[in-house]
């Protein structure tokens, strides 16, 4: 009972609610989610079961894709439709062209200030806990990346768009910020996650289909499958020995490169038989490996899966 489930989370449940349901179905305590999905949101929520909890951090780090509905003319304390309305503004004369121009400003690398109603920590407390007490604290902006932002439909006051983004992106805050750029204000009124790394909504499992350990066991992706959207390198015996001893991987130990990566990215390390040996952090970009191979250390181990524990 080790692997990852691609769950289609229903609206109205927290990510922790889903984890509890899987624990009861699988009859196993070692279950964890891969990043909070708002209760009002639906869609892809990868759930790690058993030893797959060792790869949670890598699944959390993967890019995500959403279908979003934004309501213009409303501002709430939570930045979505579940919050208390703070202000309402007129939007009658807003055009599709104006909205398109506003979206243009939210592509690429951005700095985003997390909302108060969020799971981020401040001095040992979750921000949403402080918000419930009526306390607002200064939040440092976080760097995010919007890979794709496409306008789908405009039926005032509702706007639908799709977004592909890096980890740590708050879609509620994106809606709020776009609304401020338009001068009308906005809240997130609906959200569906359609992709998280390699997991897609097309093959996500309805939660009600998982009632027994057999139901869960039959729908698990193994650790290597769960991470197969991540670039990888193949190594032989020398590379395996380095990783198992906790040493960084030398360029000369790599026998095959599968996919491009930048410095600082997570990279799978596999054996010649395709087995997952570990995950490391790239110390240089993949296009530098040929010129700088040999004894130079190129991948630092982050998580190693020893044969006895994998």
Q: Where are the domains of the chain?
A: 3-62+198-224, 64-196, 230-304
CATH number, domain 230-304, options 1.10.287.70, 2.30.130.10, 3.40.50.11540, 2.30.40.10:
2.30.130.10
Token pair for residue 140?
A: 């440092």
What is the rounded distance in angstroms from the CA atom of residue 230 to the CA atom of residue 305?
16
Residue 139, preceding bond cis, omega within 30 degrees? no
Over residues 269-282, the mean pLDDT reads 91
Q: Residue 266 CB: number of other CB atoms within 10 A?
A: 20
Q: Are 185 and 89 in contact (CB under 8 A)?
A: yes
Which of 149, 154, 161 minimizes the C-alpha distance to 95?
154
Q: What are the two backbone dihedrals, phi and then psi, of residue 245, each rounded to the nearest 5 degrees?
A: -95, 0
The pLDDT tens digits of the residues spanning 282-295 come to 998 888 876 556 67
Q: Do the two domains 3-62+198-224 and 230-304 of this chain adopt the same fold?
A: no
Q: Are 279 and 268 in contact (CB under 8 A)?
A: yes
Which of 200, 202, 174 minimizes the C-alpha distance to 62?
200
Which of 200, 194, 197, 187 minimizes the C-alpha distance to 70?
187
Over residues 86-105, the mean pLDDT reads 93
Reply yes or no on whether 80 is catalytic. no
Q: Indicate which residue of 38, 67, 202, 228 is catalytic.
A: 38
Q: Exposed, middle or buried, 76 (CB in 10 Å: 0-12/13-18/19+)? A: buried
At residue 48, the pLDDT reads 96
Q: What is the pTM of this model?
A: 0.88
Q: Are 170 and 44 in contact (CB under 8 A)?
A: no
Q: Residue 283 CB: number of other CB atoms within 10 A?
A: 17
Query: Confidence class of residue 136 from pLDDT cuts 50, 70 and 90?
Result: low
Distances (CA, A) of 12 to 9, 31, 80, 105: 9, 20, 14, 32
Q: Report whether pLDDT(227) > 90.
A: yes
At residue 300, the pLDDT reads 93
Query: Confidence class of residue 87 from pLDDT cuts 50, 70 and 90?
Result: very high
What is the rounded distance in angstroms from the CA atom of residue 187 to the CA atom of residue 185?
7
Query: Confidence class of residue 310 from pLDDT cuts 50, 70 and 90?
Result: very low
Architecture of domain 64-196: 2-Layer Sandwich (3.30)
What is the rounded distance in angstroms from the CA atom of residue 162 to the CA atom of residue 152?
7
CATH topology classification for 3-62+198-224: Pseudouridine synthase (3.30.2350)
């Amino acid at each position: 009972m080790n692997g990852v489930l691609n769950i289609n989370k229903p609206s109205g449940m927290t990510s922790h609610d889903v984890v509890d349901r899987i624990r009861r179905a699988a009859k196993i305590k070692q279950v964890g989610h891969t990043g909070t999905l708002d209760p009002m949101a639906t869609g892809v929520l990868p759930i790690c079961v058993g030893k797959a909890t060792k790869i949670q951090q890598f699944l959390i780090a993967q890019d995500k894709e959403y279908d979003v509905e934004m309501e213009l003319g409303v501002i709430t304390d939570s930045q979505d439709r579940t919050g208390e309305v703070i202000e309402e503004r007129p939007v009658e004369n807003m055009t599709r062209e104006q909205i398109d121009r506003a979206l243009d400003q939210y592509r690429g690398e951005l700095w985003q200030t997390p909302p108060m109603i969020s799971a981020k920590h401040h001095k040992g407390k979750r921000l949403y806990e402080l918000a419930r007490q009526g306390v607002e604290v200064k939040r440092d902006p976080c760097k995010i990346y919007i890979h794709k932002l496409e306008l789908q439909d405009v039926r005032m006051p509702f706007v639908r768009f799709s977004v592909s983004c890096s980890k740590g992106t708050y879609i509620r805050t994106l809606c709020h910020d776009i609304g401020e750029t338009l001068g009308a204000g906005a809240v997130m009124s609906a959200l569906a996650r359609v992709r998280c790394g390699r997991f897609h909504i097309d093959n996500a499992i309805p939660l009600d289909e998982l009632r027994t350990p057999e139901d869960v066991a039959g729908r698990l992706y193994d650790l290597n499958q769960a991470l197969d959207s991540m670039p990888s390198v193949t190594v032989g015996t020398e590379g395996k020995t380095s990783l198992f001893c906790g040493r960084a991987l030398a360029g000369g130990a790599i026998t095959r490169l599968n996919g491009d990566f930048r410095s600082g990215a997570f990279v799978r390390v596999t054996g010649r038989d395709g087995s997952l040996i570990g995950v490391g952090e790239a110390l240089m970009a993949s296009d530098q490996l040929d010129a700088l191979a040999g004894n130079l250390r190129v991948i630092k181990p982050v998580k190693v899966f020893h044969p006895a524990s994998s």
